[in-house]
Amino acid sequence: MDKVEVFELIERMAALIRSEERKKCTELGLQPVHLQVLDYLSRCNRYSDTPAALTNYLGMTRGTVSQTLLLLVKKSFIKKTADASDRRMVHLSLLPEGNAILKKARTSELFIQAALIFKKHNLANHQDIFVKALTSLQKANQSHSFGLCKTCKYFTITADGFTCGLTKEPLSQSDSEKICQEHSIL
Amino acid sequence: MDKVEVFELIERMAALIRSEERKKCTELGLQPVHLQVLDYLSRCNRYSDTPAALTNYLGMTRGTVSQTLLLLVKKSFIKKTADASDRRMVHLSLLPEGNAILKKARTSELFIQAALIFKKHNLANHQDIFVKALTSLQKANQSHSFGLCKTCKYFTITADGFTCGLTKEPLSQSDSEKICQEHSIL
DNA sequence: AGATTGTGTTTCGAATCGATATTATTATGT
DNA sequence: ACATAATAATATCGATTCGAAACACAATCT
CA of A132 to C1' of C3 (A): 47
B54: domain CATH number?
1.10.10.10
Cα separation values, B143 from B4, B57, B140, B146, Å = 27, 11, 8, 9
- Residues 6+ positions from A133 with CB-CB distance below 8 Å: A6, A10, B9, B13, B118, B123, B130
CB atoms within 10 A of CB B68: 20
* Number of domains chain B is built from: 2
Domain coverage including residue B79: 1-107
Strand D proximity: list residues 128-167 of A with CB under 7 Å. none
Closest CA to A72 of A88, A53, A94: A94
**Claim to verify: residue A3 and residue A55 sit in the same structural domain:** yes
Radius of gyration of chain A (CA): 18
> Given an 8 Å threshold on Cβ–Cβ distance, is B141 in contact with A39?
no
pLDDT of residue B1: 38
**Claim to verify: residue B6 and residue B96 sit in the same structural domain:** yes
Provide the pLDDT confidence category of residue B18 given band limits of 50, 70 and 90: confident
Ramachandran region, residue A152 (left: φ > 0; alpha: ψ -120 to 50; beta: rest): beta
In a domain, B119, yes or no: no
Residues A18-33: pLDDT tens digits?
A: 777 777 887 788 888 8
Q: Looking at beta carbons, which residues of chain B come within 8 Å of A140?
A: 109-114, 116-117
Average the pLDDT over B144-153 and give the result. 64
| In the predicted structure, residue B32 carries a pLDDT above the cut 80 | yes
CA of A132 to C1' of C20 (A): 49
CB atoms within 10 A of CB B95: 15
**Claim to verify: residue A41 and residue A83 sit in the same structural domain:** yes
Name which residue leads in pLDDT, A178 or B65: B65
- CB–CB of B79/B95 below 8 Å? yes
Verify if strand D has an atom below 7 Å from the CB of B89: yes
The residue among B85, B107, B129 that closes a domain is B107
Of B19, B23, B134, the CB nearest to A13: B134
Q: Residue A27: enclosing H or E segment and its boundaries?
A: helix A6-28
Provide the pLDDT confidence category of residue A93 given band limits of 50, 70 and 90: very high
CB atoms within 10 A of CB A184: 15
Phi and psi angles of residue B148, each rounded to the nearest 5 degrees, phi first: -70, 135
pLDDT of residue A150: 65
In a domain, B116, yes or no: no
